[in-house]
Each structure stands twice: as C-alpha cells, then as structure tokens.
Homo-oligomer: A and B are copies of this chain.
Amino acid sequence: MFENKETTSIDQLGEFGLIDHLTQRFTISKPETVLGIGDDAAILEISGKRQVISTDMFIENIHFDMMYSPLVHIGYKCISSSISDICAMNARASQVMVSIAISSKYTLQAVDELYAGIQAACEKYDVELIGGDTSSSVIGMCINVTAIGYADAQKIVTRSGAKEGDLLCVSGDLGGAYMGLQILEREKQVFLDNKNMKPDLEGKDYIVGRQLRPEARKDIVDLFQELGVQPSSMIDVSDGLSSEVFHLCKHSNVGMKIYEDKLPIDQQTYDTAIEFELAPTTCAMNGGEDYELLFTLPQASYDKIKNSMDISIIGYCTAPHEGKELITKSGNMVALEAQGWENFVETNTNKSLGDDSIH
C-alpha cells in the first residue's frame, strides 16, 4: 500500500508488443470460443451459428480532439470504426454496446450531440444499441464500443488464410484520413495563435471528412456476397497499410510485394501531401484511420473483381522468406517497416522508402 515501484516503461514494448506480452498468459478452451485474442474480432460459435465480437476504446486527446472534432462526428466515428472490425471478419454487424465516461464540464446538449452521432451511425449500419455504461471521469472523455456481428462459419475471414500467389487488394483510397488530420492540426494551431482566425478547410472537405467521419466498408462485405468472392484473409486499415500488411503476413505466414504505382491515393490526399512536403506514398503506406479493407484473394477470383472500381489490386503474396517489400515506381525493392499510427512522426523522417516515394 502507498508504494510505487518503477522499472520498465511500457513505451519500450510498443502497443503490439504490449498486447503480445499481456495476452500470452491467457489461453482459450471453452467449446464456444472459436478464436480469441489476435484478430479484428473474436469468434464464438453458439448452437452452430458464428458470432464475431470486438471491443475498442476511444480516448480524448489520443483518438480525438474536441478542438476540431464535433461531438456528433466523434459518436459516429466510434461506431463506424468499431463496425469496421466486424466488416474485416466478412461479417454483418448487428448490435453495439457503448460505455462513456464524461467529466462534468460537458453539458447535456453536448452528450446529446455525441449520441446523435452514435444514433446516426447505428441507423447507417443497421445496428442496434443494446447496452452500455455511463460514468463520471475526472478529466476528459472516454468511450468504449463493443460491436457484435454474425456470419456463416464458411464466410468468416480472419487474418490467417492468405496463401502464396494470392492477390493483395484494398478498398477505396489511402492516406486521406491522415492528411485530413494534418489540415485540422494546422488550423488548430492557427486558431490557438490567433483566436480571431477562422479555420480554412476550403477544398479539403474530402480528406477532413475521412478523418472526422470515416465509414466502415460494409458495402464491400455486401459486394463480396454479390460477386461470390471469398477473401482468404482480411484486416481493416486502422493503423496504416504497412502495419496491416505485417499483421496479415505474420498470421498467414506469407510475404507480400506491393506496387507503389498501384496504391490508391485520392487527388486531394496527393495534393495536400505535396503541400505539406510529405511523400504521398508514405501517407498511403503509414497514415492510419482510413478504415478501408485490406484483403487477399485467390488468383481465380480475379475475373470477379477486376471491374470493381472501388477495389484496387496492389500486390500479391509471396513465400514468407521473401519478406514484405514495396516495389517503387522506378522498380526498386524497398523493405517495409511495421509502423503504426503512433510512430508516424518518425516515419516522416524515415528514409527507408527512398527518393522514389517523393513524387
């Protein structure tokens, strides 16, 4: 009691190291637990039906900033990013549970705004709120969302089914949410320096929207169903493409090659990256929070997806010893580094992508 020992800092391990360290002592053995820790969601089997379930925590000033995130968007984003985990299992989200802790600085109207966003997302994704918890907090806001979905056993996709030769694909475009964040951070600074300044978001609506109010790619799950396509592995892009590639490769025991010139980058993302003197490729590879789906497909599925405008084939799976490499526009091979969101500052000064990525 009242003592305080200090030894190893958790920063030294990093988020994924910490998760591995903490969870290695836990094993699963219950008949209904099909898959425990380590994927986008856990899988339960209940009377032959598969349920997928995930839980995510969102912390003020870590995941969102009240200075530029309207509460209605924060509520929406917590739900859509949680549902993204269910989509990443090729399942359909059906229920959510939301816990919030709020300090007394928030008014009832503010909380109403947050829940209006939660409700809008529930309607958009056809999920229902079935429970939660409300609590005080001493400082700041904390939100936790548990999302529940369902899928037929043979339809569920984990991170671990990719095979050598499979195509690597991604939905939508990448790097936009990160560039939107850069714009918001810049305008916040302008405002803090001079409270009379209005934020200038002119021509940045797409990328700012990607950051503030991202969507889960439920439509892609629907498209797989429609096209009769079954991905061999899948993950959602929350920490950044590079980081997700590492997860898929680790779980599936494959390597991956990615073509720089195949990376889908929106013009607004591209132009803004240049404006900020950042390499658009770096933003696409390491910017997080796009909530697109990254998945692998057997080559036989190529004909079924080749005309889908919203899916880009960005590379392919190799033998594991071939590693994880970006093939640059000039044809050089550059080893990827596993970088999540939190390491992005270092990434920008990291030269591993070479000059090829500055274009």
Contacts and interface: CB of A to CB of B under 8 A. Distances in A.
Contacts of A48: 47
Contacts of A12: 108
Interface in A1-55: 1-2, 5-13, 15, 18-19, 21-23, 25-30, 32-33, 35-37, 41-42, 44, 46-49, 51, 53-55
Contacts of A104: 9-11
Interface residues of A, number: 92
Q: Is the interface of A mostly helix, strand, loop or mixed?
A: mixed
A101 interface: yes
A137 interface: yes
A78 B215 CA distance: 32
Count of identical protomers in the assembly: 2
A335 interface: no
A309 interface: no
A169 to B, nearest CB: 26
Nearest to A3: B70
Given A1-B70, A57-B133, A7 B128 contact: no
A299 interface: no
A138 B8 contact: no
Contacts of A314: none
Given A128-B33, A134-B18, A10 B57 contact: no
Contacts of A160: none
A42 B218 CA distance: 25
A274 interface: no
Contact of A106 (B10, B21, B28, B70): B10
Interface in A95-112: 95, 97-102, 104, 106-112
Contacts of A109: 5, 7-8
A101 B46 contact: no
Contacts of A36: 128-131
A139 interface: yes
Contacts of A37: 129-132
